[in-house]
Amino acid sequence: MAASPRVGVLALQGDVREHARVLTGLGAEVVLVRRPDELAGIDGLVLPGGESSVIDKLARAFGMREPLRDAIAGGMPVYGTCAGMILLADRITDGIAGQESFGGLDATVRRNAFGSQVESFETDLEVGALGAPPVHAVFIRAPLVESVGPAVDVLARLADGRIVAVEQGALLATSFHPEVSGETRFHERFLARVRAAG
Ligand code: GLN
């Protein structure tokens, strides 16, 4: 594969530009993906933060749901942040009526897990897989991983033990938004997967 991987950002709704900026800064060629044929030329995909139920509805309206499911099942490296984590989960708790995910990640993810009182907060997380320093994590109406299957590695937990970052093969997901805090190590890890898959 060429030195700069072609990476898609699903651009139906959400913080697409923030991801595109980080990925471009790390040397990737970014493709904004809205149509099924745009999936064909990419080596990996980011599912941004935003509103998972809206992205789900738009994906269905744009005929993207099945192609996305197929791409994930076919082993494409995918990184989902926040709403993107919800969309990767095989099981969603507290989705809106009829909400579906693309799936692939053997996990149960609770949407809006912090309720209305603590909708947004920032904290520093020790992430062993990334080494020092800790990750400054921004949570915005964030989901939590409630349970994971045996193939899933937990990368980060809150101080109380709740799971906020996971990895399963080529799939990476965080409850928080590294793309808004200047943290690039999760995107670097994702790009390393993309390069390895190529
Ligand atoms: N609460 C949003 C959802 O349900 C996620 C929020 C986010 O991506 N920052 O999809």
For 27-66, the pLDDT digits (tens) are: 999 999 999 999 999 999 999 999 999 999 999 999 999 9
Q: 3-class DSSP state for residue 71?
A: helix
182-to-23, 91, 100, 173 alpha-carbon distances in Å: 12, 30, 31, 17
Which residue is catalytic, options 82, 167, 183, 187? 82
What pTM was estimated for this model as a whole? 0.97
Phi, psi of 57 (to 5 degrees): -65, -45
pLDDT reading at 118 higher than 90 = no
CA of residue 3 to ligand 1 center, whole Å: 33
* Per-residue tokens: 64: 């993207």
Closest Cα to atom 8, ligand 1: which residue?
Answer: 49
Question: DSSP character for 128?
Answer: G
82 catalytically annotated: yes
**Structural domains of the chain sorted by starting position, each given as residue range(s) with its CATH number in brackets:** 6-197 (3.40.50.880)
